[in-house]
Amino acid sequence: MKRKFLTTIVLLCSVLVCFAAIAELSGKWKGVLKMSDGNELPLTYVFKVDGEKLSGSVISERGEIPLTEGKVKGSDFTFNITINDNIIPNTGKYYGDSTIINSDFNGRKMHLKLIRSDK
């Protein structure tokens, strides 16, 4: 009985730590997308986590684009952005001090590392 109780407590604590960690994804994150033509595009992502729902936007010198269909599961998350009527699926992984995002734009795979930004 005591062992069952301790196992339940450990599992509950693990779940709570997981939810607390992914909630830390909320906030501003910055990175630079390296384009195939050699140009670089600075990007700022603003994430807001509410349970398993992810919302926010991506901001560049060209403007701001809202995230749609955002979902969070553990340290993994997904969302879409729409550019010129093209829906671009994104997958990400939260590592605490950094976040990795992979995108698929018309068959071209893009990889972006983001670092938390307080500004």
Domain ranges of the chain: 2-117
Digit-coded pLDDT (tens) for 45-92: 999 999 999 999 999 998 999 999 999 999 999 999 999 999 999 999
Superfamily of domain 2-117, CATH level 4: Quinohemoprotein amine dehydrogenase alpha subunit, domain 2 (2.40.128.120)
Residue 26's pLDDT band (cuts 50, 70, 90) = very high
Nearest residue to 31 via CA among 79, 87, 99, 81: 99
C-alpha 49/C-alpha 55 separation (Å) is 7
Portion of the chain with pLDDT greater than 70, in percent? 79
Evaluate if pTM is beyond 0.85.
no
| Residue 14 confidence (pLDDT) | 42
